[in-house]
């Protein structure tokens, strides 16, 4: 197995563009790639552009009629009328939509192939993590579900246990749906409570299909306002035990940056420093239980200048084995590019001033009146006994 990590990148992924008034501004991808370069991280790993996912690959998750609908909307965006979730406010059709969506999916599939085959120890596609797309419809800014496609490809290659961890502020509903009946895939999502945020799913009682797959879906629904200590406490109270018991052959993680307190579309209060701490934890879990095989994806994140580039640059640094120190000053050249592209002043350091972040471990006991602890208790009681673990 190669000791070098792999960064999946093709400049053309910045063509995933729903228009000037849409929250998912592709400048977040361009600025992340430039910040990675500003810190020299692209010299520490292999930067690879994969080909777009072909139709046979897309059909591992998506229905044939849906793929045809995406192609039609891509060729004639004005004809998209909301069918299949295309042409909506969240997912407006645009010219070339199929091609660039398939390109993003291709990067995640190639990342999974490289890690499975031992060509790379870790692989990152921060343009990916489009976890809301369903087998037969677009949803939540997501056209093709690259995360599910990467996992499906791992299964096709012979993987028997794949663990997916999603720490985006929104429930990873599309990935959960794709593997609802498949006990080979354990999906774990930490997200804002469905009472207060799209997509309205991800309740702790959602545990997988009856039968062999029962207990293969895990949902930690956190109350609005949860900050660093609560978020990290919940992660560590649930994820490590599940990873240890499942012993995955590959760990696939989604690192949406929209848990941040500056994100305009959600209501958690997490810092870049806590996001970095979870990225490090995922890296450590991959090495401890999955032979180091780690596929890391991006996801949501709509504070496109101040948060997303910093968070995902930390992710790439961790995967590359050259972490960016939280206190590191951001190169002035990058800040100049931010101003040139957005007319905004970029952040000055790679921290929100909260490093090192701290939290209290679950083993120290819990408070049944605390809302974060209630969320943890709910999911442990719903899922852990199904997996032979103590709630």
Which residue is associated with the tokens 């660039």? 100
Exposure string of 304-336, with b = 16+ CB inside 10 Å and e = fewer, is bbbbbbbbbbbbbbbbbeebbebebebeeebbe
132 is catalytic: yes
DSSP 131: T
Q: Do the beta carbons of residue 222 and residue 372 sit within 8 Å? A: yes
> Could you give the CA distance from residue 115 to residue 272 in angstroms, rounded to a whole number?
27
Element (H, E) at 165: strand 162-166
What tokens were used for 59? Answer: 């059909």
**Contacts (Cβ under 8 Å, ≥6 apart) of 89:** none
Catalytic site residue from 132, 170, 255, 260 = 132
What are the two backbone dihedrals, phi and then psi, of residue 7, each rounded to the nearest 5 degrees? -105, 120
What are the two backbone dihedrals, phi and then psi, of residue 329, each rounded to the nearest 5 degrees? -80, 140
Q: Where do runs of H (alpha helix) occur along the chain? A: 27-38, 55-58, 64-75, 97-116, 146-156, 173-178, 228-246, 272-289, 308-320, 332-342, 371-383
Active site residues: 132
């Amino acid at each position: 197995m190669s000791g070098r990590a792999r960064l999946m990148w093709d400049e053309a992924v910045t063509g995933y563009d729903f228009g000037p008034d849409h929250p998912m501004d592709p400048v977040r991808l361009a600025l992340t790639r430039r910040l990675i370069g500003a810190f020299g991280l692209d010299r520490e790993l292999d930067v690879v552009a994969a080909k777009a996912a072909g139709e046979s690959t897309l059909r591992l998750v998506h229905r044939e009629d849906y793929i045809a609908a995406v192609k039609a909307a891509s060729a004639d965006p004005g004809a998209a009328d909301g069918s299949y979730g295309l042409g909506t406010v969240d997912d407006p059709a645009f010219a070339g939509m199929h091609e660039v969506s398939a390109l993003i999916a291709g990067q995640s599939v190639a990342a999974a192939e490289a890690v499975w085959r031992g060509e790379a120890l870790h692989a990152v596609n921060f343009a990916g993590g489009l976890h809301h797309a369903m087998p037969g419809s677009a949803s939540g800014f997501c056209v093709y579900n690259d995360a599910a496609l990467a996992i499906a490809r791992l299964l096709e290659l012979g993987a028997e246990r794949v663990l997916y961890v999603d720490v985006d502020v929104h429930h990873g509903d599309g990935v959960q749906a794709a593997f609802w009946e498949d006990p080979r895939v354990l999906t774990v999502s930490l997200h804002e409570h469905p009472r207060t945020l799209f997509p309205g799913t991800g309740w702790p009682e959602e545990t997988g299909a009856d039968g062999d797959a029962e207990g293969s879906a895990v949902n930690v629904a956190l109350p609005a306002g949860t900050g660093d200590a609560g978020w990290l406490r919940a992660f560590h109270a649930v994820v490590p035990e599940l990873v240890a018991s499942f012993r995955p052959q590959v760990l696939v993680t989604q690192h949406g940056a929209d848990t941040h307190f500056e994100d305009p579309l959600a209501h958690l209060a997490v810092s870049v420093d806590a996001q970095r701490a979870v990225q490090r934890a995922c890296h450590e879990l991959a090495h401890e239980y999955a032979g180091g095989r780690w596929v890391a994806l991006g996801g949501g994140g709509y504070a496109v200048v101040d948060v997303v580039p910093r968070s995902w640059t930390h992710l790439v640094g961790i995967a590359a084995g050259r972490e960016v120190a939280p206190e590191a000053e951001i190169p002035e050249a990058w800040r100049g590019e931010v101003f040139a592209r957005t007319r905004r002043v970029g952040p000055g350091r790679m921290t929100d001033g909260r490093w090192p972040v701290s939290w209290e471990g679950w083993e120290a006991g819990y408070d049944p009146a605390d809302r974060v602890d209630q969320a943890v208790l709910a999911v442990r009681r719903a899922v852990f006994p199904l997996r032979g673990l103590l709630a």
